[in-house]
Amino acid sequence: MNQLQIAVAKGDGIGPEIMDAVIQIFNAAKVPLDYNFIEMGKTYYEAGHSSGMTDTAKQAVEELGILFKGPMETPKGKGVKSINVTARKTWSTFANRRHFKSLNGVDTVFSKAGIPIDITIIRENIEGTYGGVEHMISPDVALCRRFISRPGSMQVHRFAFEMAKKEGFTKVTCAHKANIMKMTDGLFLETFYEVAKEYPEIQANDIIVDDLAMKLVAYPQQFQIVVLTNLQGDIMSDLCAGLVGGLGFAPSANIGEHISIFEAVHGTAPDITGKNLANPTALLLSGLMMLRYLGLMEHANTIENALLYTLEQGAHTGDFGDRSTTSLSTQAFTQTIINHLGKVPSTNAARESKVLSNFVKPVAPSDQKMMLGKHGQGAEKLVGMDLFIETEQLAHELASTIQSILPPSLKLINIANRGTQVWPVGSKFTECVDQYTVRIEAINGTTSMSELLACSQTLSSTLNLSSIEFLKYFDNKAGYTLAQGQ
């Protein structure tokens, strides 16, 4: 079999140790891969590469299309972006797939109760609060912009349903907070059901994310595939890791149209670095996801069966397993798995994923930047603006100042503080900070950008204007929410 070349970044902390262990197992199983080791991680960030990788490393990943990486540390310091998140976003790996499955030999509350867990979390990987667009709009108030797009949402939902279809799952659940975040999570939920119509053979339902958190620890067997927005998916996937024994058993794949990244979810564990104590299981499971993605099913099944047999026999590193038996070092645990290649577990069997074809490296896009297609339709109408104003005035004093300046074609609708209305009606018990949101709308229902900008310029000569958001209707539907209490 011809060898396929992939990019490999060993990572920081325990990364090199566990990556060496996994590659040792792959080599023993005669996996037909050729490894291009690249320069990526904290060391390269500190050497002046702001993305945490050298130009040569970036070029290698973009040419090969596959990155297998160890955990990487984000240097501490204000303004420093996560190297891991930067890689996922730079290469548009829009779907983060994390698989959580009960493993015999890894005792949990659920395994002891005889409740098997097999849950896949699909997390949108590009948007949401992980856009990292934040501003201090006063010395005491920070603002984060949360981006949810229709094309991005449809992309990750379609991935979830396609995965369910190919691998024999019967149910996909969308978790959200659309009851509160009606525009952002509302759009995510709306597009979920739009995509679900294309897969009538698969059951589609939704659940509020806090209810999901409760049900995951009470009735985890209810769920097969759960698709979530970025931050919510990050949190829920860590919760699911706890259900199956911790992050040491949590594999992860970041899938894009052109580039995919396979990595362990856990951190760099600096306290045990270099001590031959690290557990390579999560990275090995991530590697098995990669092998299946590449169409190397027989190799993946052989290695997974050896791992499951090893766990079944009670072999373990120091972070899990029977404390009354001797813990194995990283190298000893790795060698034990290698010794068991060809063995089949008696209680756990490797899941057979359906593969339609062998891996074909995607063709790189011809343009410098790619645009996702526009899905939203309908006429746009500009009706007003929200002004973010820094002041220690009371709400009625601020309202009086604004009303004295506004042109007759515009009207002050309301004033909110931290999302709660404080004018024209409110409560004297509502505690405020020095940042108000002032909503101004057109008297006749429509206005122009030039009129709003002229108004905001006039107001800024008197007031400390921090930011502006324009209020629009799309196809006769308001593209903005009301304040609490409005």
Cis peptide before 424 (omega within 30 of 0): yes
Residue 409 lies in a domain: yes
Residue 291 lies in a domain: no
Per-residue model confidence as pLDDT tens digits over 205-239 = 999 999 999 999 999 999 999 999 999 999 999 99
Per-residue model confidence as pLDDT tens digits over 251-292 = 999 999 999 999 988 999 999 999 999 999 999 999 999 999
* CB of 338 closer than 8 Å to CB of 28: yes
Per-residue model confidence as pLDDT tens digits over 392-414 = 999 999 999 999 999 999 999 99
* CB of 418 closer than 8 Å to CB of 484: no
C-alpha span between 397 and 407 (Å, rounded):
18
- For 376, the token pair is 């939203």
- For 41, the token pair is 């991680």
Residue 459 lies in a domain: yes
- For 47, the token pair is 């050497």
Q: Which of 5-9, 79-83, 187-191 has the lowest mean pLDDT?
A: 79-83
Residue 294 lies in a domain: no
Residue 444 lies in a domain: yes
Q: What angle do CA 276, 262, 247 make, to 5 degrees?
A: 55
Domain of 450 in residue numbering reads as 380-478
What pTM was estimated for this model as a whole?
Answer: 0.88
CATH code for the domain of 386: 3.30.70.1570
- Residue, of 355 and 461, whose pLDDT is higher: 461
Nearest in space to 384 (alpha carbons), one of 456, 324, 301: 456
Residue 93 lies in a domain: no
> pLDDT at position 301, please?
92
C-alpha span between 51 and 41 (Å, rounded):
9
Mean pLDDT of 459-464: 95
Per-residue model confidence as pLDDT tens digits over 119-158 = 999 999 999 998 788 889 889 999 999 999 999 999 999 9
Burial letters for 204-222: b for 16+ Cβ neighbours within 10 Å, e otherwise? bebbebeebbeebeeebee
Count the helix, strand and coil residues of the chain and give each as a percent rounded to the nearest 5.
Answer: 35, 25, 40
Q: Is 478 in a helix, a strand, or coil?
A: strand
CA dist 43 to 58, 59, 74, 159, Å?
15, 18, 10, 34
Q: How many C-beta atoms surround the C-beta of residue 30 within 10 A?
A: 11
C-alpha span between 329 and 39 (Å, rounded):
27
- Residue, of 245 and 359, whose pLDDT is higher: 245
Please state the domain count of the chain. Answer: 1
- Please name the residues in contact with 100: beta carbons below 8 A apart, sequence gap of 6 or more: 117, 118, 119, 120, 121, 237, 240, 241, 243, 244, 249, 250
Per-residue model confidence as pLDDT tens digits over 472-483 = 999 888 899 887
The length of the chain in residues reads: 486
Residues facing 4 on adjacent strands: 33
Residue 98 lies in a domain: no
> pLDDT at position 476, please?
86
- Please name the residues in contact with 72: beta carbons below 8 A apart, sequence gap of 6 or more: 9, 11, 12, 15, 40, 41, 42, 52, 83, 84, 268
Residue 451 lies in a domain: yes
Per-residue model confidence as pLDDT tens digits over 200-209 = 999 999 999 9
> pLDDT at position 73, please?
87
